[in-house]
Structure 1
């Protein structure tokens, strides 16, 4: 088992409960960590034997473009897509951060973090 991380994926998107947030949009940071068996790819040196981090980045960018009220919803969509699109992933953790959130204070970011494990029958 091994870990692949794709960190600090920067995305401009339109999430939030306030009308202004969905209209104007804001900056987000997404961090992703997936666990998979990396032993085969370590031996074969073939992309087809591992989790493609280009695919992971594309999933994040595509799912971030669909507006949602809550970051939890976006994170769950990202996790669901990872498990659908890449059968090698056994476990995934995603963190979605809204940078400079409009919450009436000097706050750098708010972040949610969710983890999902592949069910044995998938």
Structure 2
């Protein structure tokens, strides 16, 4: 099994438990790792034989921004579900969802959750 990574995908959305997070929104950063058999694509050099990461980006953006969630855990689950539903060649997806503007009174880089979901 090989991997495709999309790192540092920035998406503006309205997730959080505080009313101002749902009203004003904030930036999120997503790091995705997709596990799939890429051996055919490595031989054919044909986009149809791989997972099109540009299409995955659109799927992720649509799933992540379709609704407002209180928890980033739920938002991450929705993204993982969407990727697995849309791309049958993806056997597993790992998503680290970072919230660099989380409303906590401290100096920090980000808070995050990481989920791994698979077909098995």
Aligned to 2:51: 51
Give unpaired runs (5+ residues) of structure 2: none
Task: With the length of structure 1 as denominator, give the TM-score of the two structures.
Answer: 0.93
Aligned to 2:100: 99
Instruction: Give the whole-Å Cα distance in 2 for the aligned partners of 1:17 and 1:117.
Output: 28
Give unpaired runs (5+ residues) of structure 1: none
Task: With the length of structure 2 as denominator, give the TM-score of the two structures.
Answer: 0.95
Q: CA RMSD in A?
A: 0.9
Number of aligned pairs? 119
Deviations 1:91-111 (A, max 9, x none): 110011111211111222110
Aligned to 1:109: 110
Instruction: Give the whole-Å Cα distance in 1 for the aligned partners of 2:103 and 2:84.
Output: 32
Secondary structure of 1:103's aligned partner? coil
4+ runs of 1 displaced by more than 4 Å? none
Give yes or no for contact 2:60–2:83 (8 Å, CA) kept in 1: no
Give yes or no for contact 1:32–1:93 (8 Å, CA) kept in 2: yes
